[in-house]
């Protein structure tokens, strides 16, 4: 049973425009959320995170929004750059636990 | 440089032949874990370890063993591999108390 879902397997965006990647979760016990970026032949690398006590966290071009009532989070990349082309995974963690539950990933392609 | 190192990166083997995938980290992290990545399923946790000699099952532990005799090493053992264990495996380090996990570059296993 997939507790973290990324319903869009792929997304294409023009360079300079905004990329919006979405993630939904089903378990209300999740209280910490992360986004990872993965290039081919490499492991996932941490991008940005958000605690459930916040609804927004920003780091440079990357912003994560959390809507707890909808059990939904999104990652905004503005402006998108060709180097952002990668697979993006969202992940969630329960209170008091360390293991992460991952979504299935969204492949972002930024077109020059 | 902070690193999580997995070996081998690629392995093709046959059903029933025991194999070990090594994982080593240089960040003095107590928490380490193993994931497998399969198409349409994202990353799923196999086993994790909170510290030396402390290991526990993740979401998909069947057919796997781990050990944690030293803090830096966390090998994954397949005693009798089967074709359904063909997958991409990632070792991760850190991630305790809302710190992000660091991933190795992955090991692609093919069990014939």
Summarize pLDDT for B31-79 with one digit per residue, the tens. 999 999 998 888 999 999 999 999 999 989 999 999 999 999 999 999 9
Residues A42/B105, Cβ–Cβ less than 8 Å: yes
A22 confidence band (pLDDT: 50, 70, 90):
very high
The predicted model gives A9-38 an average pLDDT of: 96
The answer, for B42 touching chain A at a CB cutoff of 8 Å, is yes
Answer whether A2 sits within 8 Å of B42, measured CB to CB.
yes
From A42, A49, A51, residue closest to B105, measured CB to CB:
A42
Cis-peptide into A80, omega within 30 deg: no
Whether the pLDDT of residue A96 is over 90: the answer is: no
Across the A/B interface, how many CB contacts are shorter than 8 Å?
56
The answer, for B110 touching chain A at a CB cutoff of 8 Å, is no
User: Which residues on chain A are in Cβ contact (under 8 Å) with B101?
Assistant: 46, 100
User: Which residues on chain A are in Cβ contact (under 8 Å) with B27?
Assistant: none
* pLDDT per residue as tens digits for the range A32-87: 999 999 999 899 999 999 999 999 999 999 999 999 999 999 999 999 999 999 99
For residue A105, the model assigns a pLDDT of 95
Among B37, B39, B51, B59, the residue to mutate for chain A (most A Cβ within 10 A): B37
Kindly list the distances between the CA atom of residue A52 and the CA atoms of A46, A98, B38, B62, B96, in Å, as whole numbers in the listed order: 18, 15, 28, 32, 17
């Amino acid at each position: 049973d997939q507790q973290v879902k990324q319903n869009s397997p792929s997304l294409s965006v023009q360079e300079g425009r905004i990329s919006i990647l979405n993630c939904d979760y089903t378990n209300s016990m999740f209280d910490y959320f992360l986004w990872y970026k993965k290039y081919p032949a490499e492991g996932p690398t941490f991008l940005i995170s958000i605690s459930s006590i916040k609804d927004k966290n920003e780091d440079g071009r990357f912003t994560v929004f959390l809507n707890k009532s909808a059990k939904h989070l999104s990652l905004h990349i503005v402006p998108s750059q060709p180097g952002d082309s990668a697979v993006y995974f969202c992940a969630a963690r329960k209170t008091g636990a360390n293991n992460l539950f991952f979504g299935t990933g969204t492949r972002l392609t930024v077109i020059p | 440089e902070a690193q999580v190192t997995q070996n081998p990166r690629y392995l093709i083997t046959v059903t029933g032949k025991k194999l070990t995938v090594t994982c080593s980290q240089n960040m003095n992290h107590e928490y380490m874990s193993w994931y497998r990545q399969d198409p349409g399923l994202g990353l799923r946790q196999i086993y994790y370890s909170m510290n030396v000699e402390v290991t526990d099952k993740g979401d998909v532990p069947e057919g796997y063993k781990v050990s944690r005799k030293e803090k830096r090493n966390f090998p994954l053992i397949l005693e009798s591999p089967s074709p359904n264990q063909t997958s991409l495996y990632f070792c991760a380090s850190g991630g305790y108390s809302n710190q992000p996990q660091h991933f190795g570059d992955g090991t692609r296993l093919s069990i014939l």
